[in-house]
Amino acid sequence: MQRFRYVWEHFEEGMIAFLLAAMTLITFLYVAVNNLYTMFYSLADHWSFASELMLDIGDHLMGYAQEMTWSIALTKALFGWLIFFGIAYGVRTAGHLGVDVLVRRARKPVQRVLAMIACACCLAYAGLFLIASIKWVSAVLTAGIGAEDLDRYGIKIGHIALIVPFGFALIIVRYLEILYRIVTHRQTSLGLADEAGEASKLANPGEESH
């Protein structure tokens, strides 16, 4: 149970790390293959005894590089998934910016009420997009439109678009967690990032020690 709790609390972090690693690896492979075949052509010019072998390897690598248009499409798809996991991660870690100067001047009970109203608005917003995205993804899956440069592998646009309803569902869950903590008096706000406060700390690092 403790293991599951840890995985759930760090789910977005793990997915973001995986997606970033996958994007980096795919991009590196694409760049490497596109530069390797020129090296073998150069070796063929300098190594006359193995020029045929070097040219053959270079031709194979160049052909593979020309077929790697899928890498750009896959990187774009992974970036789309990264965005939605990043939104949920921002909700969980209080990474989203908010303007709550007036709210902070109110008393704690008032802050809690305002936070619950704000949380309800966020839930309603995410809920509307969840319902709309489910209908959209359902229609796209029914149409069976292939993803650009990925359709040869059986990947459809609908498969990539599945992250939209999943992402909004995850956002709803994270806001429900916040709402639960507000109701149970564990926090009094949405926990938005204080950009002005962080900038002030960076500008005046000595203030915290006083």
**pLDDT tens digits, 144-173:** 899 888 888 889 999 999 999 999 999 999
- Confidence bin at 101 (pLDDT 50/70/90): low
CA angle 70, 36, 24 (to 5 degrees): 45
Q: φ, ψ for residue 146 (rounded to 5)?
A: -75, 145
Average pLDDT over residues 61-70: 78
Q: Are 114 and 103 in contact (CB under 8 A)?
A: yes
pLDDT of 200 > 50? The answer is: no
Assess whether pLDDT exceeds 60 at residue 203.
Answer: no
Pick 192 or 62 by higher pLDDT: 62
* Residue 148 vs residues 35, 139, 201: alpha-carbon distances, Å: 24, 18, 47
pLDDT score recorded for residue 56:
78
pLDDT of residue 129: 96
Higher pLDDT, 116 or 67: 116
At 209 the pLDDT is 46
Rounded distance between C-alpha atoms, residue 11 and residue 7, angstroms: 6
Q: Cα separation of 175 and 208, whole Å?
A: 31
Give the span between the Cα atoms of 71 and 134, in whole angstroms. Answer: 27
Residues in the chain: 210
Give the residue extent of every domain in the chain. 98-195
Residue 85 has pLDDT above 90, yes or no: yes
Rounded mean pLDDT of 60-72?
A: 80
What is the average pLDDT score of the chain?
82
What pLDDT, on a 0 to 100 scale, did the predictor assign at position 99? 58
pLDDT digits (tens, 9 = 90+) for 129-140: 999 999 999 999
Query: Distance (Å, rounded) from C-alpha 63 to C-alpha 65?
Result: 5
Least confident of 24-28, 177-181, 198-202: 198-202
**140 vs 65, more confident:** 140
The amino acid occupying position 195 is E
pLDDT > 90: percent of the chain: 34
Whole-number pLDDT of residue 112: 84
Given a cut of 60, whether residue 201 has pLDDT beyond it is no
Tell me, rounded to whole angstroms, the distance of Cα 185 from its chain centroid: 31
Q: Worst-scoring range by mean pLDDT, 27-31, 52-56, 121-125?
A: 52-56
Written as six digits, the tokens of 35 are 């530069």
Percentage, residues of the chain above pLDDT 70: 81
Question: What confidence score (pLDDT) does residue 69 get?
Answer: 82
Structure-block tokens of residue 69: 């248009």
Place of tokens 């936070």: 115
